Amino acid sequence: MFAPPSARIPFVGLTGGLGAGKSTALAALEELGAATLSTDVVVHELLATDELRGQIADRFGADVVREGTVDRSALAAKAFESTEAREWLEGLLWPRVGERVAGWRTDVEAMDPPPVAAVVEVPLLFEAGIQAGFDHTIAVVADETLRAGRAGSRGHRAVEERAGRQLTQDEKAQRADFSVRNDGTRGELKSELSRLLSTMNA
């Protein structure tokens, strides 16, 4: 899905379960001098295009589009009804996400001075089997009760992990090169991420 690892700028995949705080970690990494990209943002942008909106409405029904915008909750509900439906949606989105990430990485490689790392947030990093395309991987983990509260406040039925599609956060942490806890303050999380960046650039 991605180009071979770069020897110049560490290429890092960031993941974690629902409510673990991936977006908070990504923002902290940007503050620490990393170039960052969220594949969730890329998906939002793709779903806003006429091409994909039309294909999704044809496949899942016009009711997943409301006021000209794909309703992501309605889409997720239908896409996770069956393996075939989910795989169809992933086949539509993932190649396009990969193209966007590859183009972004090319731009990052040309930056002068270079960032301390190029970090891509990928919720299904290990589930998609693309971890080998990164130099390093980081899993963000947090207390289950805390995760449920965070995810619930955003309208997710949290730690069922989207109908079992996602690995548990323990499995993500075991597969990642590094794991960071996001149970404390934002400052504590940022300090831990700063330490990891130093390790990667040593």
DSSP per-residue string spanning 61-77: -GGGEETTEE-HHHHHH
pLDDT band for position 151 (cuts 50, 70, 90): low
pLDDT band at 157 (very low <50, low <70, confident <90, very high): very low
Contact at 8 Å (CB) between 32 and 190?
A: yes
52-102 pLDDT per residue, tens: 999 999 999 989 998 888 988 888 888 888 889 989 999 999 999 999 999
Cβ–Cβ < 8 Å for 63, 74 = yes
At 83 the pLDDT is 86
Lowest mean pLDDT among 14-23, 102-111, 142-151: 142-151
- Nearest alpha carbon to residue 47 among 86, 89, 105, 106: 89
**Cβ neighbours of residue 169 closer than 8 Å, sequence gap 6 or more:** 16, 17, 20, 139, 141, 142, 147
Residue 139 has pLDDT above 90, yes or no: yes
DSSP E strand stretches across the chain: 11-16, 35-38, 65-66, 69-70, 118-121, 136-141, 178-181
Judged against a pLDDT cut of 90, whether residue 37 lies above it is answered with: yes
Q: What is the largest CA-CA distance in the chain?
A: 52
- State how far Cα 202 lies from the chain centre: 26
- State the pLDDT at residue 193: 97
Q: Which pLDDT belongs to residue 76?
A: 86
Q: Looking at per-residue confidence, does 30 or 202 come out higher?
A: 30
Q: Domain 9-34+116-202 - what CATH class?
A: alpha beta
Extents of the domains making up the chain: 9-34+116-202, 41-114
- Smallest CA-to-CA distance from 20 within 197, 171, 133, 200 is with 171
pLDDT at 161: 41
Residues 27-52, mean pLDDT to the nearest whole number: 95
Q: Residue 139 to residues 5, 109, 193: CA-CA distances in angstroms?
A: 19, 24, 11
